[in-house]
Chain A
Amino acid sequence: MNEPAESKKPYLKIRALTKNFGEFVALKDISLDIFESEFVCFLGPSGCGKTTLLRAIAGLDIQTAGSIEQEGRDISGLPPSERDFGIVFQSYALFPNLTVTRNVAFGLENRRMSRDKVSSRVTELLSLVGLPDQGDKYPAQLSGGQQQRVALARALATSPGLLLLDEPLSALDAKVRAHLRLEIKDLQRRLAVTTIMVTHDQEEALTMADRIVVMDHGVIEQVGTPRDIYNRPSSAFAAEFIGTMNFLEATVSASGEVSLGDHRFRCDTSDFEVGSKITLSIRPEDIVVDEGEGNQQNTVMADVRYIEFLGSFCRLGLDSAVFADSDVRADLSIHMMRDRDIDAGTRISVCFPENLIRIFALR
């Protein structure tokens, strides 16, 4: 499921989508395919266009140009009521004057379903989201997490082909959020409903999505599985936005070698010409502390400026003439810290493994 076959027909086909708000370009020439039963996350900072894209798919804010096809049907200009989707908002948007049961039944009530059928469907949905006994309560009597489950049940009630989630977890506490994350993902897998979720939380995206669409300034930066994007970010933006990344300015000094001042690092420079200015990047957890004196390849002597204790590991702030003003952090396990007796002010030798360095064009 993770790697959609090229031959498979996309469930949702977005082509050359552009959205302008007056002068402002919110979406620029977006093209994207989403496949049946897939869980896709639109990830990016606020203002990147991810919600605009979602609302265009829903027909709530129609795009300026471009087309959208759902199951081979062109829905580009259709009003929301003629599209096939269920939607959950950050605000839950539960009808406050209706009970949980009537909220869930809302979309069923005008479908010429018998009363019994509606009622059994509501019962089914409520137990699906884990709220079998809460039907008679009003939304205000529920916790945030419970309300969002009701919203989910309501969106799923009409068995839509596409489920849209607009930052569904952002309004919740960290603990509830982590819990509900798993539940939603589990539910989605069981129902196999094609799902698009908008989020600015990389952790949410990494844990829930089959594929992540990283967006910035109205364009798609990268599309891929969470692992792909984390390990092989295609741009400095994607690299920085997902996970933590150290950035250092450098020059390609020779094929397979970059220099920071006098210091040289071996790495893959195949996309760049010799002499070009680049950004060298490495994740904090990829930095290795070794025994040496800093004279081996890709090794630098650095002073520990501070130590941030983060429970299962520690994050070290490193100072070195090589790094100049750049803020370089390294993540070390608690074991390592104990074994090596590292403290603020300790001088250590750190290594940037050749295969884990990635370089990008200078920003």
Chain B
Amino acid sequence: MTTLMDTVDQPSLGARVKQRISSDERVMRVCMGIIALFLLVAVVLPLYSMMAKSMEDRDGAFVGLANFAEYFSTPSLFFSGINSLAISLLVTFIVIVTAFIYAYALTRTCMPFKWFFRLIAIVPLLTPSLLSGVSLVYWFGNQGIAKDMLFGETIYGPIGIIIGSTYWVFPHALMIVITALSITDARLYEAAAALRTSAIRTFFKVTLPGCKYGLISAGFVVFILVFTDFGVPKVIGGNFNMLATDIYKQVIGQQNFQMGAVVSVVLLVPAVIAFTVDRLVQRKQVALLSARAVPLEPKPDRRRDMMMFCFCSFVALLIILMIGMAQYAALIKFWPYNLEFTLANYNFDVANGGGWDAYHNSIKMASFTAFFGTIIVFFGAYLLEKGRGFAIGRGVFHGIAMLPLAVPGMVLGLSYIFFFNNPDNPFNFIYGTMTILVVSTIAHFYTVSHLTAVTALKQMDDEFESVAASLKTPFYKTFFKVTVPVCLPASLDIMIYLFLNAMTTVSAVVFIYSSDTQLASVAVLNMDDQGELPFAAAMAMMIAYTCATARLLHLLITRKLLRRTQAWRHR
């Protein structure tokens, strides 16, 4: 080396340099701490109390795994587990196959009326999962108009659960598969064509491997959703026991909280395993899409397009029949003896379940959840993605943010009773209020919102923050001037996601609503429980219309905002 070093006095090696934390950084860490605390209180600690509960006897004394031993020695409970597993696997298979063909038709063919099929596939997202159960009773129940199609089999049981579950999880799977199929490089297909590869071979060697991870991911999502869902089996399950309904039976029917906690833990295990495996698989996925990828433009193929059109029409028809029947039933005076039309079933105030107040509460709850949830989720994701240093803290934060996806709503709801209704808990005051519903709903749907925000933030140049620091601009200025406007579409997506889910969810809130805060979705459940099926159908349809309106508003607002504030996106 040259002359430069000669005069240098060598500082002692190995003395670690400690970065001085800037005031910006300090503020960010405090903010992250607050959001981490929120997640701690909203997710981790309640789950902990639930785990603790599962190891207590009725008097609260610690009994180790005795409750679990009892659980596994009760054959009917054990069979519930087997049932849950079998149903979930079967539904996963059916939904993935259907969703794949449907998504393939939407992304890779020149089928007509694609916009319509896209629209109709979203419909199940706008309704509570219970709606399919209610509708199925009218179709295939003992007084159902299509009862004979079951050839004497009863709809109350596995058949009903499978059809009902398939209906409501379909759009969840479809969205993931569409994304997976959209990400492809046309050049791969050109290469395959140039090599004279047959269409079938191309399908198996190019198409399927290309969306392999998407399919796996969709599979896990569907599995977890069905495995932990409680609405459909509750309404249409008959005597067919599943884990999710067992929790309800243990807690509501027998007031056996300890056993409820035990089943919750049992329910948690496969969900967490499925979730973990999915994460590991996703990690292996390498970016298929290089910057130079050419988007695939499907070419018309009459025969294939027609076949796909027929298939999609069939699926769409099923969805329409499902929701259509619910609407029809809601307008009928007294099924099946008096088929006159009436609006009496919308007079919710004479039915159990909280009346119109419940509906208004739902809208209030969903709005709060969407508003506060989006702020918390987005800001949390921002701090996680764009903050610097503090690696362990951020890793832990990310881990906690991923946790809710693996926690079934019922488990979360139950654990809220244990945690928040403890008089020693400083947060005890939110028990029985709207706040606890909002907190639980945000927590319940945290992960997907978080991932949406993270994805949007990842698409932003990592160097924005470095540039801003070099220009000595405090982080919040960059956040409000750049990050928020650029991520506005993603934020609106999170908002509508939270709103729709808050409107339709039952599982977590069923344990923690109070008389002041009855909810429409819970009302549907209770109305069905009481056998007030027409009211249940009417209320479910009110939810559906509200969600559809919200979705439409979201679309309009997004469009308008994009045009006005996102002019920079256009060249």
Q: Which residues of A contact B (CB under 8 A)?
A: 6, 15-16, 18, 29, 31-33, 58-60, 62-67, 76-83, 85-87, 89, 91, 93, 95-98, 106-107, 109-111, 138-141, 154-155, 157-158, 160, 164, 220, 222-224, 234
Contacts and interface: CB of A to CB of B under 8 A. Distances in A.
B482 interface: yes
Contacts of A220: 1
A140 B571 CA distance: 6
Lowest 5 A-B CB distances belong to which pairs?
Answer: A107-B471, A79-B22, A138-B568, A80-B469, A93-B463
B387 to A, nearest CB: 12
A160 B467 CA distance: 13
A157 B24 CA distance: 22
Interface of B: 1-5, 7-8, 10-11, 13-22, 24-25, 388, 461, 463-464, 466-474, 477, 481-482, 485-486, 565-571
Given A16-B10, A16-B13, A97-B566, A86 B461 contact: no
Contacts of A82: 20, 22
Contact of B15 (A65, A83, A164): A65
Contact of A107 (B14, B18, B473, B571): B473
7 contacts: A64-B17, A76-B17, A79-B19, A87-B467, A96-B486, A107-B473, A164-B470
Given A64-B16, A67-B11, A80-B469, A223 B22 contact: no
B207 to A, nearest CB: 33
B466 A80 contact: yes
Contact of A140 (B16, B471, B569): B569
Contact of A141 (B13, B471, B477, B571): B571
Given A81-B22, A97-B568, A138-B567, A89 B470 contact: no
Max chain A C-beta neighbours (<10 A), residue from B24, B467, B486: B467
B5 A31 contact: yes
A319 to B, nearest CB: 38
Contact of A15 (B11, B16, B466): B11
A223 B4 CA distance: 9
Contact of B13 (A65, A83, A139, A160): A65
B463 A91 contact: yes
A95 B484 CA distance: 12
Nearest to B484: A97
B20 A78 contact: yes
Contact of A95 (B10, B464, B567): B464
B24 A63 contact: no
Given A79-B21, A93-B464, 7 more contacts: A31-B10, A79-B469, A82-B20, A89-B467, A91-B463, A110-B473, A234-B1
A110 B477 contact: yes
B287 to A, nearest CB: 17
Contacts of B14: 65
A108 to B, nearest CB: 8
Contact of A58 (B22, B24, B464, B470): B470
Max chain A C-beta neighbours (<10 A), residue from B21, B566, B568, B570: B568
A316 to B, nearest CB: 34
A66 B482 contact: no
Contact of B17 (A66, A81, A160): A66
Contact of A77 (B20, B467, B481): B20
A160 B4 contact: no
A66 B571 contact: no
B473 A65 contact: no
A64 B15 CA distance: 8
Contacts of A65: 13-17
A110 B24 CA distance: 15
A80 B21 CA distance: 10
Contacts of B463: 87, 89, 91, 93
Contact of B467 (A76, A93, A111, A222): A93
B11 A97 contact: no
Contacts of B481: 95, 98, 106
Nearest to B9: A15
A97 B1 contact: no
B471 A154 contact: yes
Contacts of B486: 95-97
Contacts of B571: 140-141
B13 A77 contact: no
Given A16-B10, A155-B470, A62 B17 contact: yes
Nearest to A68: B17
Contacts of B13: 16, 18, 29, 65
A234 B3 CA distance: 13
Contacts of B7: 6
A101 B16 CA distance: 42
Nearest to A85: B470
A81 B472 contact: yes
A58 B468 CA distance: 12
A265 to B, nearest CB: 28
A224 B2 contact: yes
A220 B466 CA distance: 26
Contact of A158 (B472, B482, B568): B472
B482 A98 contact: yes
A277 to B, nearest CB: 24
A32 B463 CA distance: 26
Nearest to A91: B461
A82 B470 CA distance: 8
A106 B473 contact: yes
Nearest to B473: A110
A106 B469 contact: no
A230 to B, nearest CB: 15
B262 to A, nearest CB: 42
Contacts of A6: 3, 7
Contacts of B466: 58, 60, 80, 87, 89, 93
A147 to B, nearest CB: 12
A61 to B, nearest CB: 9
Contacts of B477: 110
B70 to A, nearest CB: 47
Contacts of A62: 17, 19
Contact of B470 (A15, A76, A160, A224): A160
B565 to A, nearest CB: 8
Contacts of A83: 470
B4 A32 contact: yes
Contacts of B21: 79
B17 to A, nearest CB: 5
Contacts of A64: 16-17
Contacts of A109: 473
